[in-house]
């Protein structure tokens, strides 16, 4: 008997949210947050966060309900986490752009 959390063919809101939040945690550790170190390894948390967001979007229903509203809130949370990871990825490279003038 497989758990739906580990089966990628079944829809799981928990799996998508955990994937995004764990990739945000890994991105914070990889970027060495207060110092914002440039590392191209942050591409992997971005890809995992996109996959988690896509998994959360799969849980949408056609008719509106409170579950549908909760999924929309989770998608907004996923997008905010994805923006944070992209910020950690791109911010260290802006210093090189501004110092070249």
pLDDT tens string 9-35:
788 899 999 999 999 999 999 998 888
Which two structure tokens, joined as six digits, stand for 23?
A: 């990739």
Residue 65 neighbours by CB distance under 10 Å: 9
pLDDT tens string 45-94:
999 999 999 999 999 999 999 999 999 999 999 999 999 999 999 998 88
Q: Angle, to 10 degrees, between the axis of helix 43-57 and the axis of helix 66-99?
A: 160
């Amino acid at each position: 008997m497989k758990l739906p959390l580990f089966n990628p063919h079944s829809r799981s809101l928990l799996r998508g949210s955990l994937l995004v939040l764990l990739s945000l945690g890994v991105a914070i550790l990889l970027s060495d947050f207060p110092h914002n170190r440039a590392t191209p390894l942050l591409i992997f948390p971005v890809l995992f966060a996109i996959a988690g967001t896509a998994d959360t979007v799969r849980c949408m229903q056609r008719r509106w309900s409170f579950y549908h509203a909760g999924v929309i809130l989770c998608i907004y949370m996923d997008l905010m986490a994805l923006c944070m990871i992209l910020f950690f990825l791109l911010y260290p490279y802006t210093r090189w752009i501004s110092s070249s003038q």
